[in-house]
Every structure is written in structure tokens, then in C-alpha cells.
Structure 1
């Protein structure tokens, strides 16, 4: 970084500490356009270190100069017609106004509640669209120091459906486990769990069909996964696993219908209020 920009950066930091800046300090000029110290102060990220900030300021000034040079060249070389962007500006403004108006109406009036009945109905009507791309399981996972591991107790508690037994498992894991997750009420991709253990399983489908537990250990820890349920790649996904995706689909469909209704209602209201007139053009 040049000494000039290093000095500028230090000056930025110094003036930032002041409550008021009486005079604007120019940092760069292209044609009649000036980049002032105040302009940089407004946009410099506060999370950067001193060295990163100096690099950022240097890059910002360079990009500003490049942009202004491009504008200067465009102004000098384009025809008057090419430089007339009034229609594009008007079109963009109108599009932005319409977007904000529709967005405000959606936030105020569109019902965003999606019930479980609606999710289930969509799932049943489109079940063939929800095919698993990976193996998934409901499971319990824990990692416990070898010296306090009690495999038989862990197995017994993790397979029990009694909420009190599962509370006992929670208490045990809170006291002893290095890592503990219960996915017994929701589906997760099995690879997420297998990444947490040193055991390698060659034929996962055959293993899961024959075993309820995955056990492994290294020199320090006992690893345990209790498989409560499973589904394999290529099967239909359980509705709980895809419920969030279905909710988004239904919300998007509702949004499209709502926006179409807004346009139709605006047209109808305009016609009833005589806000517009259509002319017949004779050939």
C-alpha cells in the first residue's frame, strides 16, 4: 500500500473519533467529481482489522476511480440518444413501486398459515415427487468416555418408548456424554451420524435391516447410535422429512394466486371508478 493511502487511512481513523467534521477532505478526483473522506467513512466495515481496513480503503478508492473514469468516457463517447436513460429510469422506478406495493399488501393481507392437513393433502397428491436422494434415519447418538461408558444401560434406555426411560437417558448423557443428540422424533441423513464415529459400514442397507445399534470405540471414547427407524435412497420420503419443502411450495402457490388477484382487483376497481378509458381505433 502506498504511503499516500496509508496516510489517508490513518486520517480516516482519526476523524472517525471526532464528533464533528467541519471540512470535507478530498481523497480522489476524476473530472469534476470528488471522493471525500466522509464518503469512505460511511461505508468502511467496522469489523475489519487495521491492516485489512487499509487494504479495503485502497481498493475502494481504486474502484471509485475506475467507475468514474468509465462514466467520464461514456459521457464523452456516447451520442445524446444513447445517453438518454430517462425511459429506463422511469421503467425501473415504476417496477420498484409496484413491487413494494405488492409486497406491502402481501405482508398485510396474505394468509401465511399452512396447516398439517394441507401439507398432508399435498403430499398424498404428489407422493411420487418426493423420492429420497439419501438414506435417512431416526436415531439417538452419543459419544462417551470409555471409563464411564455403560453400553447395556445405554442400549436399554435408548430403545425404550417410555418417556421416563428417555429422561433417564438424558440425565445419563448430561452427566457423562461428550456429545449427545436425539433424533428419535425427526429424520436426519444417516451420513451425518456416521461421520461422527470411527466405524465404517460397507453395506449400510443390509446392516440397518439386521441391526438396531451401531457401536464403535477408539482409545478414548465409546460411540453409540440407536436406530429407531430408517428409510433408504429411492424410497418415498416420509411426509415429516419434506414438510418444510411442501410448506414452501404451498406458500409460493398462494403468493402467485394472491398477486394475480391483486392485479385483477385493481383493474376491476379502476373500471368501476372510471379511472381509465379504452378507445376503439378504427382501421
Structure 2
């Protein structure tokens, strides 16, 4: 052995000896338990994160006391159950716990893999193709409307001008309505969006299930009043129950369906690749009986 190699080996051995001595002389950390039930211990750090900074000393002491009693109760019941339940039941529960633990880990891991690897982009063309293929499954269960409306205070003075502008809704009208919008209690000018009738009934209490057929009609303009406010509205378009839902309304649902299918396909492909790799690396094999 050369002098250099001996020197290097000697230095390495000396450092290793110092490290070992340092570890040996380190004082072992002793954790003071808060409570014990049999062989199970509850330590201060187990509940440290549960005590918030807003708690007073009295509140935190009460919380710790209650937590210790609750913990002890669970531990005692657990130990009693292990003594008094049958062996079959214990095996059954152990298997359930093991399966749950496995499912918890694998689900979290698969979600992480999907978020990193699965494509989450859904194009307009994909939405349209799926919509055309499945449109018979998208029949409406409630009426949809395109609406613009304004809710005015009952004391509002220039109601006729606002009503006229909302009805005509040309560029000058829009500028005018925007300029005084702070005086309205509510406003909704985006009449290109489809809105469910139930949402309209929530926003305009003067329209109810009993009179919605009268007011939620295409091209209908209404002026309604109750004890709280005055409601002005114009219905631009309507889709009735059992009509095919418009693509613009159903697009978020279609997107979720497509993403869910893509996720399932990705996971199936991933599981196949994992098994193939394990077989290739001789980490997984199936034993069959020789007949």
C-alpha cells in the first residue's frame, strides 16, 4: 500500500473515530411524556400544533386536560377491544386498516403523477366533437334564459329613462347605464350568458315559480315591484326543459368529463408500465403450479 493511500486511510479512520465518539458522547434526548396508557405514551409535541396562539393559559390548560382524557379513553378502549374481540374480527380489522393505508398512499401518489404527467388542456374542437356525439344526453332539467336586469331602490327617481335604456340597450344606452350604475341595487348586463331560471328567481324575488312562465319568455320586457325594490328586465333568449343544453352552458361539465376520462386512461397506462417495468427488473413475478 502506498504512503498516500495509508495516509488517506488513516485520516478517514481518525475522522470516523471522532464522529463515532461524538455520537457516543451526545446526550440522548429525553422526551417527557404527558400521559401513558400501557405501552402507549402521549408527548407534548403530539399536541403542540393543536394549541393556537389565541388561547389563554386557562383555555390551553383545559384543552390539554380534555385532550389527554380523550386520548386515554381511546387507548383504553383500543386495548380492551384487542382483548375482547375475536381473533377473526381483529384480523378483519387489521386487513381493513392495511388496505386503507395502502389506498391512502397510492391515491396520493397517483394524483401527484397525474398532475405532473396528464395533459389538462381541452381544446374547443374536442368540446364540440364530444358535444355533437353526446348532445342527446344533455337535455335540460330546467329553463335557461339570457337576461339583462336592474334592481332599483323604490325611491329611484328616473326609472322611465333607465327602463328605456335597458330595453333598447344600444351603445349610448350602455354608456348611460354604466355611468349611473352605482345607484342600482343590482345589475346584470351580460345577456350573452345562459342563466338557470332558479338563479333568476333567487336574484329577482318578484318572479316566482307561479309566474315565471309569464315573464321568462323570449323578447319579454318586464317591470316588477315588491316591498323591497323595483325590478327591470329584458329576456333575450330562452331554452325550455328537455331542450338540448347550449354548448356554452354545458362546456364546463364536458370539460370535467373529458379530463376524468383522460385521467383514467393515463392511470391505466401508468399501471401497465409499472407492472411491465417490475417484471423486466424481476421485481414482480407470478408463480403458477406445475400440473
TM-based fold match above 0.5: yes
The TM-score, its normalising length taken from structure 2, stands at 0.71
Indicate which of 140, 159, 164 corresponds to 1:132: 140
Shift of 1:32: 4.8
Number of residue pairs matched?
A: 260
1:155-174 matches, cutoff 5 A:
155-160=163-168, 162=170, 165-174=173-182
Which residue number corresponds to residue 109 of structure 1?
117
Distance 1:127-1:251 versus aligned 2 partners, 3 A rule: same
CA RMSD of aligned residues (A): 3.7
TM-score by length of 1: 0.72
Q: Where does structure 2 lack aligned partners over 5 or more consecutive residues?
A: 1-29
Larger radius of gyration: 2
Q: 2:273 aligns with which of 262, 265, 270?
A: 265
Find the counterpart in structure 2 of residue 233 from structure 1: 241
Per-residue deviation, 1:261:
0.8
Q: Residue 211 and residue 98 in structure 1: after superposition, are their counterparts in 2 closer, same or farther (change >3 A)? A: closer
Deviations 1:86-143 (A, max 9, x none): 7666655554443343223212211011112211221221112112222222212322
Distance (whole Å) between structure 2 residues aligned to residue 213 and residue 245 of structure 1: 31
Give the SS at the match of 1:195. helix
Contact 1:205 1:232 (C-alpha < 8 Å) held by counterparts? no
1:191-202, aligned counterparts within 5 Å?
A: 191-201=198-208, 202=210
CA distance in 1, matches of 2:132, 2:55: 51
Work out the CA distance in 1 between the residues paired with 2:38 and 2:226. Answer: 70
Out of 186, 189, 194, the position equivalent to 1:182 is 189
CA–CA separation in structure 2 for the residues paired with 1:53 and 1:198: 48
SS across alignment from 2:289: coil
Distance 1:41 1:266, change over 3 A: closer
Question: Equivalent residues in 2 for 1:1-283 (5 A)?
Answer: 26=34, 29-36=36-43, 38-44=45-51, 60-78=67-85, 92=100, 94-160=102-168, 162=170, 165-174=173-182, 176-201=183-208, 202-209=210-217, 212-218=220-226, 221-273=229-281, 275-279=283-287, 281-283=289-291
Residues 35-81 of structure 1: CA deviation (Å, up to 9, x unaligned): 45554442246678999988866654443232112112124335778
Give deviations 1:12-55, integer Å, cap 9, x for gaps: xxxxxxxxxx99573x5544545455544422466789999888
8 Å contact kept, 1:198–1:216: no
For 1:141 and 1:126, the matched residues in 2 are separated by 33
